Amino acid sequence: MASISTRTGDDGTTSLLYGQRVPKDHPQIEAVGAFDELNVALGAAALQGGDSATTALLRTVQHNLVALMGELVCAEGDRLRYEESKLARITATDLERLDAAVAELEARGLKFDGWATPGANPQSLAFEQARVVARRAERRLTSLPANGRTVRPELRRFVNRLSDLLWLQARAAES
């Protein structure tokens, strides 16, 4: 097996999807890193227990995030190549899944009054931690067009809806 330590990043650069080298603090790399952190936070939230449907949803969202990161780590000049590839992408169906989960939680009539104070229990805290990481990832995503990288509207909608869902899941875990 080949080593994962290629040493090509020793100069402070990293590779985008099709080989273009960029600085490790490039806005696209910052965005991908934030979504990577979100993926880890969702894994931690899934380990906190809860019902099997929530765990399954979180695992599906983690797979969605891998697709989202793949799209973000593609250089603007390679967008068409990416679009023509068979690599997974966030779709309307993925957004609909999140919308349905938000609607289901809202239909429960969850009680909340004002600003939440995280830490009621480990499960709600895990959802809150994932939510704040999602909002950071959303900010990084939102900054990309100003840095020359087109972002499909579906990606912004997906992460915004995911943040809403995580907030509701934290409230549900408190009840």
Give residue for tokens 């806005």: 27
pLDDT in tens, 133-144: 999 999 999 999
Delineate the domains of the chain, giving CATH numbers in brackets: 27-105+118-174 (1.20.1200.10)
pLDDT in tens, 99-147: 999 999 999 988 777 667 778 899 999 999 999 999 999 999 999 999 9
pLDDT in tens, 13-72: 899 999 899 989 999 999 999 999 999 999 999 998 778 999 999 999 999 999 999 999
pTM of the predicted structure, to 2 decimals: 0.92
What the block records as the tokens of 154 is: 């579906």
